[in-house]
Structure 1
Amino acid sequence: MAFAGKRPNNLGVHDGKLAPCPNSPNCVSSQSSDAVHQIAPLTFTSRPEEAIAAVKGIIQSLPRTKIITESDDYLYAEFKSALLGFVDDVEFYLDRNTNTIQVRSASRLGYGDLGVNRQRIEAIRAKFNQI
């Protein structure tokens, strides 16, 4: 676990917002307004409980993932890279008012991520939209 890094202490939902992305390009967030970090939230038409359960099921089906924190409207999981064990922190916040799930995916270490965080969220979105 040489490249795991320390778990950030700024994660979670604060006043309806996930933590902002750092200036580095190795983070995406649906609540970010700049083009480098912005990604669309997940949208759903099912019951909110079904939507967050679907996200949980998708996370659990993916390799090298571990759910760290879970509540009725929030999921936080760690995703580990296959080769060197880099850890990314991935969060999902269920916004019942807008029928969206806000997302944030950030690398713990390094600067660039070669688009891995964006690709991960888009892969999760593709599976989510098939449900």
Structure 2
Amino acid sequence: MVFAGKRPNNLGVSNGKLASCPNSPNCVSSQSADAAHKIAPLTFTSSPQEAMPAAGFAYANLKEIILSLPRTKIITESQDYLYAEFKSALLGFVDDVEFYLDRNANTIQVRSASRLGQSDLGVNRQRIETIRAKLK
């Protein structure tokens, strides 16, 4: 775990927002204002409880999908929030991935960010798009 890095202390939801992405290109967020980091939130047509059901998260489906992906560990989950760590196969780089159930918008806001380095070769964006495809 040479490349795991330290868990950031800015994770979680504050005033309905996930943390902003850093200036580096290795982060995507559905709440980002700039095009380089922007990604669409996840949408669902089921009830919030079905979308994240564990602990009331309207995403039992989302939790199942996350756990089906390799080298994934759910760290925190609550009624409206889920935080997981994804580890790369080769060198053990860790990405912090957050999901926030925005009940007002009927969407799940997402943020996926690498802990270390500059470029992620598009891994964070691809991860969210893979999860999106599996949700449909």
- Regarding TM over 0.5, the answer is yes
User: Aligned-pair distance for 1:96?
Assistant: 0.7
Q: What is the deviation of 1:49? A: 1.1
2:114 to 96, 107, 111: 107
Residue number in structure 2 paired with 1:34: 34
Kindly report the root-mean-square deviation, in angstroms, between the aligned alpha carbons of the 2 structures: 0.5
Ranges in structure 1 where 5+ consecutive residues have no aligned partner: none
d(CA) in 1 for partners of 2:49, 2:29? 22
Q: Does residue 94 in structure 1 map to residue 114 in structure 2? A: no
TM-score by length of 2: 0.94
Once the two structures are TM-superposed, the CA of residue 80 in structure 1 deviates from its matched residue by 0.1
Identity %: 84
Residue in structure 2 matched with residue 76 of structure 1 by the alignment: 83
* Paired residues, number: 129
Q: Which residue of 2 aligns with 1:8?
A: 8
5+ unaligned residues in a row in structure 2: which ranges? 53-59
Q: Aligned partners of 2:64 and 2:95: how far apart in 1? A: 18
- CA deviations on 1:30-57 (whole Å, 9 max, x unpaired) are 0001110000000111100111111111
Does residue 54 in structure 1 map to residue 30 in structure 2?
Answer: no
SS in 1 for 2:91: coil
Instruction: Deviation per CA, 1:61-106: give whole Å up to 9, x if none.
Output: 1110000000011000000000000000000000111110000000
* Residue 44 (structure 1) aligns with: 44
